[in-house]
Structure 1
Amino acid sequence: MGLSLAAIGARVLRTRSLVRAPIALYRAGLGWLLGGRIMMLEHRGRSSGLRRYVCLEVVERPGPGRIVIVSGFGERAQWYRNLRAHPRCFVSTGRVRRAPARARLLGEEESAAALDRYRRARPRDWELLRGAIERATGQPVRGLPMVELRLRRRR
């Protein structure tokens, strides 16, 4: 019997080299190959102040220059904790490279509403994501913290 998609997704989420593989594409200027649903976030380490990178799925684009992302590992995710400490960051997605942005952590109600919109818009993707997160963390998904990134126009 083969592995389910959720089991494969959980393995990917727990394998650092696989999770970080898209970063190399973005840093080489090839992030557009991943389309508009994946983005790279460049943020500062809250203790070290060093640049950090993570690729994440775009949950929604509620308006021009606004992107909502989800923390599948909750508030303990390093990138989430770093944005809480240092909300200024850079976003690369599609053909946009290193656009300056500011992060706003969404409240519980806003996060739940965004997650509900995602569930309705992409039911298959949601089931795969939920299953992978639950297998990787060993806990049921009850709610997930969301972050809105507001991209600033370059002058």
Structure 2
Amino acid sequence: MAAVRERVRSIVVDVGERVLRTPALVRLPNLAYRHGFGMVFGSRMLMLEHTGRRSGLRREVVLEVIGHPEVDRYVVVSGFGERAQWYRNVVADPRVRVTVGRRSGVPGTARVLGRDEAARTLAGYIERHRRAWRWLGPVVERTLGRSLDPAEPPPPMVEFRLEGTAGPGASG
């Protein structure tokens, strides 16, 4: 039974990595947001609008929220590390717009989390989502190209602090 479970896990990791490396599949959630259906993801996902560091063009990406410490703060992890284009873009220009829950195109500022803060955030996520992490952890390790050993630096994480005060529908 353990061998079957391990084989299934291996297949899931392979498929997960292929999905994350297939641009057309990764961009599918963008369509949901563009057509006003992003709210179905609640506050578990957000659409980030950022500026291309070279092109100056508006870019969009949908990311999983791994931390939501306050009503106007969302934390995401860069599953491709510092190689991720969205990550490189928000480091170059931290001014962003975020669509999450019922909130659409809210201006905000990106901030890269320090190592200790990122490690605590990841540990909290793993604690809250143990079962999912058993499947997702190996996929993230594969896309990062390294182990997520607690003794090693965590993957890069970014906090988006939205502007304005919490109003109707702000809870996502």
TM-score, normalised on structure 2? Answer: 0.83
Letter of the aligned partner of 1:15 in structure 2? T
Equivalent residue, structure 2, for 1:152: 163
Equivalent residue, structure 2, for 1:38: 45
Equivalent residue, structure 1, for 2:68: 61
In the alignment, the residues of structure 1 paired with residue 113 and residue 78 of structure 2 have an alpha-carbon distance, to the nearest angstrom, of 11
Question: Which residue of 93, 97, 100 corresponds with 1:90?
Answer: 97
Higher relative contact order (CA 8 A, sep 6+): 1
In the alignment, the residues of structure 2 paired with residue 85 and residue 137 of structure 1 have an alpha-carbon distance, to the nearest angstrom, of 21
Equivalent residue of 2:107, what SS? strand
Structure 2 residues not aligned, in runs of 5+: 1-6, 166-172
Residue 28 (structure 1) aligned with residue 35 (structure 2): yes
Q: Percent identity?
A: 48
Deviation (angstroms), 1:138: 4.1
Deviation (angstroms), 1:136: 3.6
Deviation (angstroms), 1:5: 2.3
Equivalent residue of 1:7, what SS? helix
Larger radius of gyration: 2
Equivalent residue, structure 1, for 2:135: 128
What are the superposed Cα offsets for residues 68-120 of structure 1, whole Å, 9 maximum, x if unpaired? 11101111111111000100100111111111110011111111110011111
In the alignment, the residues of structure 2 paired with residue 109 and residue 116 of structure 1 have an alpha-carbon distance, to the nearest angstrom, of 11
Q: 1:13 to 1:4 in 2, by over 3 A?
A: same
Structure 1 residues not aligned, in runs of 5+: none
Q: 1:7 to 1:125 in 2, by over 3 A?
A: same
In the alignment, the residues of structure 2 paired with residue 86 and residue 21 of structure 1 have an alpha-carbon distance, to the nearest angstrom, of 25
Equivalent residue of 1:43, what SS? strand
Preserved CA contact (<8 Å) 1:11 1:136: no
What are the superposed Cα offsets for residues 126-150 of structure 1, whole Å, 9 maximum, x if unpaired? 2222211233454323421111110
Count of residue pairs the alignment pairs up:
154
